[in-house]
Amino acid sequence: MIKIVLDTNVLMSAIFWAGTPSKILDAWQERRLKLVISPNILEEYIRVGEILEKKYSSMNLQSLIDRIAIESELFSPSLLPSSICEDPDDDKFIEAALAGNCSYIITGDKLLLKVNGYQNLKIITPSDFLKSFLPIT
């Protein structure tokens, strides 16, 4: 099974809007993918989700966040020896992917996409992941 890390922007897009990211989240919910998280990633999912939940009050995010916390592989990764990304806050996704032996980080973040290939990690957009690994059936 493919192990992935979802950048916060992809997860929030999947939850609050339809489209490519939601198809990736659906594949995880159907157990076709394994999601890897860290405490820092989960904390960011919660923080950003709460902000969006206030803006889009019809959404209840708590049950999905609880499911992610329970059904994902949780790692407490080691910190990278030095920052890899231009935005050091993005390093947490690389740290989790390395700790969880993931194949992919899925992101729309241009700065994170720039470090594609770091320690053989594939850092790709949701549409590239969907085209290559989740063909529409």
- Residues 45-55 pLDDT 10s: 999 998 988 88
- DSSP code at position 89: G
pLDDT digits (tens, 9 = 90+) for 36-74: 999 999 999 999 998 988 887 666 788 889 999 999 999
| pLDDT value of position 118 | 92
Mean pLDDT of 25-41: 95
Quick check: 124 and 110 in contact, CB under 8 A? no
- Number of domains observed in the structure of the chain: 1
Q: Collapsing DSSP states into helix, strand and coil, what is residue 14?
A: helix
pTM of the model: 0.91
Most confident segment among 59-68, 111-120, 128-137: 111-120
> Rounded to the nearest 10 degrees, what angle do helices 8-16 and 39-55 cross at?
40
Domain limits at 36?
2-133
- Going by C-alpha positions, the residue among 77, 22, 13, 76 that lies closest to residue 45 is 13
Tally of helices (H runs) and strands (E runs) in the chain = 7, 5
Q: Is the pLDDT of residue 105 over 50?
A: yes
**What is the CATH number for 94?**
3.40.50.1010
